Chains A and B, each alone.
Chain A
Amino acid sequence: MFGDDIVMLSRMQFGLTALYHFLFVPLTLGMTFILGIMESVYVMTGREVYKDMTKFWGKLFAINFAMGVTTGITLEFQFGTNWAYYSHYVGDIFGPLLASEGWMAFFLESTFVGLFFFGWDKLSKVQHLSVTWLLAIGTNISALWILIANGWMQHPVGSEFNFETLRMEMTSFADIFFNPVAQVKFVHTVAAGYVTGSMFVLGISSWYLLNKRDIGFARRSFSIASAFGLASILSVIVLGDESGYTSGETQKIKLAAIEAEWETHPAPASFTVFGLPNQETQTTDYALKIPYALGLVATRSIDEQVMGLKDLKQQSVEKIKNGMIAYGELQKLRAGDRSDATKASFNAHKDDLGYGLLLKKYTEQVTNADAVMIDKAANDTIPKVAPLFWTFRIMVASGFTMLFIFAMAFYYCATRVADQKRWLMRMAVWGIPLPWIAAETGWFVAEVGRQPWTISGVLPTNLSVSSISSEQLWFSIGGFALFYTVLLIIEMYLMIKYVRLGPSSLHTGRYCFEQAASA
């Protein structure tokens, strides 16, 4: 109904601005926790170096946090500006989750972030420590609500279509809150944030150690980061978001696409390490498979059968046929036929109404779709396999590389020889981008893998957009490109400048550069 260019541009804008926002979010999630740990050590031991650590890493956190705030507002605005029909259609469920995030999380983090920076002289030690932890809790609650919202988009439970208001409405808040997909997503994502913060501190501390400066400061930062990082990366991998792929049709399709599972194999399926997925022939060429070797990554399928894409597509065909019936009954209801028979038939089929809406792309009337249209729509439910297959593997590879770095760092810290292992410190410096690569590819898998839906099985992406023009979209995309590029350059410049200054930026007179300068 809308030009493909509107849909494509809207997706591009939302995808890029969301990925950009997520450059800053994981660091905020991790750093607030690490700041809380450092300051706790300060309050417990009373040693000034831990206060300096909290303040210095806090400065880097501040540079990052400002960007997180800036780019976060964009996402809230875009639901209304670019996804107006989505906002109307699911605002009843999605809106309260966002508003809860505002009440419970944004206020907490934003109110206390000011005191964190400006309250050192105005608060007692314990008061300030409480402020820091409230900030950390705020950022984490924020992640909880937005991931419940995203989890609902992946696996929409606790809601149903209301034919009188022509939209989805909430039936059970508890189901939405305890949605298994949302819960594993939350654990996976915040733990990934802790990994990001840890890798950041570990890498920069390693750089100081390699340059033999601020040794005591860097060594203490290094050990906190290695311990927290190891615990976090294990949570990411072991409690990974894998188990979420067993609930809901679209999640199953996503899993099959990630693994390039075209056919259904008896459990436990072998794991395709590498291969070239071929969408045309629906096979994976040159597949390197490890039978049963599902290990930590794929524990989900030891006892459960992974359904292949071909069978999943056949399921979509059935759902589309149901959806056509639901759509037909809905038209009758709207025309004024409120007979019990029509209502009963609608209620029996309405769970698949969204699949009927997939046909809108091929026929406005939906109910008159022929076998060819149904087949096309069913094909649309299968995402492009190769991009998901590869991005998923990049994410996993980044994760295991970090597991190695953190495990080594922790081991050598425990044996007190970490600063003699220059190879490890070099690896930690070069490893700084890894958590970001993992996070961005992870979101790519989660969101591209959900296509063609904005709400899995409920609302197709191409119907979710606003009635706007491509000129308007180009204006906003141009604005984002301009502002985000300039801001990123400024942010990186400041970040690198302050990393180089190190703790001397606190002007305590105790750190590298300052002794020389004051002498």
Chain B
Amino acid sequence: MFDYESMRLIWWLFIGVVAIAFALTEGFDFGISTLLPFVGKNDVERRIVINSVGPVWEGNQVWLILLGGAIFAIWPSVYATLFSGLYLAMMLVLFSLFFRPAGFDYRNKLSNPTWRNTWDWCLFLGGTLPPVLLGVLAGNLILGLPFHLDQDLRPFYDGSFLGLLSPFALLCGVVCLVGTSFHGALFLKCRTEGSVQERSRVVASILGLLLILGLAAVMAWVFLGLDRPEITQMAGGDAPSNPLNKTVVAVGAGWLAHFMAHPLMLIAPATGMLALAMAWLLGRGQSTTAAFVFSCLGIASMLLSLGLGLFPFLLISSTAPGSSLTLWDATSSHKTLVLAFWITIIFLPIVLLYTRWVYKVIWGSITEASIIKDTHTLY
């Protein structure tokens, strides 16, 4: 199982796992920040919302940092092409992330209402812009990005920032925001009581429906309206990583045919839609944990669907299909993949274990009484 080809496939799965962990944990952090000004009507209620993720948002954010680090380590040319090509978009993601640490840590340091209100809107931006931008990014992964590699494998981007904002990509951005907000609302239902919980329930019942409709629209658009390139010839799965050693046609059999070729892959989007429907139905009622668990399952399945849909592509080039990057020809060396594999096999369980312990310690409802009791130590 340690041959180069298997390692490349395993790492595709591992990075998928990291991406899913990021979406599930940072997803509700983003979500509660987006909902903050709306489900919290006064300072105590807003502090309830913020403290629902108080002890964990920092650890959750590491999944994003690890996702970046893992792509850098495993798919260096993807990292190089994506981050430099989408320069302005990435800078906007980065700048919007700036609002979060300061927002969480500094808000309660002064009791001035204007100060706190300003930070609330900063947190709103910090929780709202990244999912929109990352959704737009996901949309563009499906559409393909205008880039090419030169003979030295140096990536060049042939498009512009505005070019990213096509109607399809914008739809993806909106759906992604609805998704994180829905996920965050279900999380708040688990961790709060009273009026904040009730408002979260109402929000979830609206957003859940929107999310399902939005995802259905995205899928219909992808299956019926978008072209999918196809690889016609490439070196074997254990060949040295050189993305230029393959032939790709811009228009292949299409996305639906890609799934139909291996119908088992359809389980992923089907599970995703069903799980999100369950999360929505349960979330409208009194259910807390079950609805949140279904939301996690739904989000994970939708990300898996994205990965399977692109497979074996990682980055599709819309202008020079032959420069597209795949999991077979854009990875690091065999040695590096094996090394990183062992590091992950050892540390992933350790990280999950202590993260679980921390969640166990802090778990429980955040109430008005608890905020008032620990007013000087909580966020």
Contacts and interface: CB of A to CB of B under 8 A. Distances in A.
Contacts of A73: 64-65, 94, 97
B355 A107 contact: yes
A363 interface: no
B9 to A, nearest CB: 18
Given A91-B332, A162-B240, A66 B106 contact: yes
A91 B54 contact: no
Interface stretch (B66-74, B196-204, B262-270): B66-74
Majority SS at the chain A contact face: helix
Nearest to B158: A467
B88 to A, nearest CB: 6
Contacts of B82: 80
Contact of A466 (B87, B93, B333, B339): B87
Contacts of A81: 83-84, 87, 90-91
A170 B66 contact: no
A7 to B, nearest CB: 14
Interface in A342-356: none
18 contacts: A73-B64, A74-B94, A76-B65, A79-B72, A80-B80, A85-B152, A85-B154, A88-B77, A88-B155, A92-B332, A99-B74, A103-B66, A103-B343, A107-B62, A171-B335, A466-B80, A467-B157, A476-B91
Contacts of B332: 91-92, 95-96, 169
B2 interface: no
Interface in A59-95: 62-63, 65-67, 69-70, 73-74, 76-77, 79-82, 84-85, 87-88, 90-95
A516 to B, nearest CB: 19
Nearest to B54: A118
A310 B44 CA distance: 69
A170 B73 CA distance: 11
B166 interface: no
A118 B55 contact: yes
Contact of B81 (A84, A95, A103): A84
Contacts of A288: none
A70 B336 contact: no
A487 interface: yes
Contacts of B378: 118
A464 to B, nearest CB: 10
B72 A98 contact: yes
A104 B109 contact: no
A62 B57 CA distance: 14
Taking each of B62, B66, B76, B157, which has the highest tally of chain A beta carbons within 10 Å of its own beta carbon? B76
Given A103-B351, A114-B362, 13 more contacts: A63-B106, A66-B101, A77-B93, A79-B72, A84-B84, A85-B155, A96-B73, A96-B332, A99-B70, A99-B340, A110-B61, A334-B151, A468-B87
Taking each of B73, B77, B151, B153, which has the highest tally of chain A beta carbons within 10 Å of its own beta carbon? B73
A106 B355 CA distance: 12
B340 A96 contact: yes
Contacts, number: 243
Given A66-B106, A115-B361, A164-B242, A88 B80 contact: yes
Interface of B: 54-59, 61-62, 64-66, 68-70, 72-74, 76-77, 79-84, 87-88, 90-91, 93-95, 97-98, 100-102, 104-106, 109-110, 151-157, 240-242, 332-333, 335-336, 339-340, 343-344, 347-348, 351, 354-355, 358, 361-362, 374, 376-378
A490 B62 CA distance: 24
Contact of A122 (B90, B355, B361): B361
Contacts of A497: 109-110
Interface string A471-507: 0100110010001000100110010011000000111
A404 interface: no
Given A110-B62, A498-B109, A100 B377 contact: no
Contacts of A166: 152-153, 242
A113 interface: yes
A93 B73 CA distance: 7
A70 B376 CA distance: 23
A120 interface: yes
Contacts of B61: 69, 110
B377 A111 contact: no
B70 A110 contact: no
Given A76-B68, A95-B69, A173-B339, A70 B98 contact: yes
A494 B106 contact: yes
Contact of A106 (B54, B57, B66, B106): B66
Nearest to B333: A169
A167 interface: yes
Report the 9 A-B pairs with minimum CB-CB distance, sorted nearest first. A91-B76, A80-B83, A95-B73, A114-B55, A84-B84, A466-B84, A111-B59, A66-B105, A102-B66
Contacts of B56: 111, 114
A165 B242 contact: yes
Nearest to B60: A110
B154 A102 contact: no
Nearest to B359: A111
Interface string A282-317: 000000000000000000000000000000000000
B55 A117 contact: yes
A265 to B, nearest CB: 42
A433 interface: no
B76 A92 contact: yes
A397 interface: no
A81 B89 CA distance: 10
B333 A162 contact: yes
Contact of B105 (A62, A98, A466, A507): A62
Given A103-B343, A110-B58, A122-B361, A67 B153 contact: no
Contacts of B87: 81, 466, 468, 472, 476
A112 interface: yes
Contacts of B69: 76, 95, 98-99, 101-102
Nearest to B156: A467
Given A91-B80, A119-B361, A106 B377 contact: no
A103 B344 contact: yes
A80 to B, nearest CB: 3
A490 B99 CA distance: 12
Given A66-B104, A162-B333, A114 B73 contact: no
A80 B90 contact: yes
B153 to A, nearest CB: 5
Contacts of A108: 354
A164 B355 CA distance: 41
A505 B377 CA distance: 10
Given A85-B80, A111-B58, A114-B358, A165 B333 contact: yes
B369 to A, nearest CB: 14
B348 to A, nearest CB: 7
A12 interface: no
Nearest to A505: B376
Contacts of B340: 96, 99
Contacts of A84: 80-81, 83-84, 154-155
A123 interface: yes
Contacts of B152: 85, 166
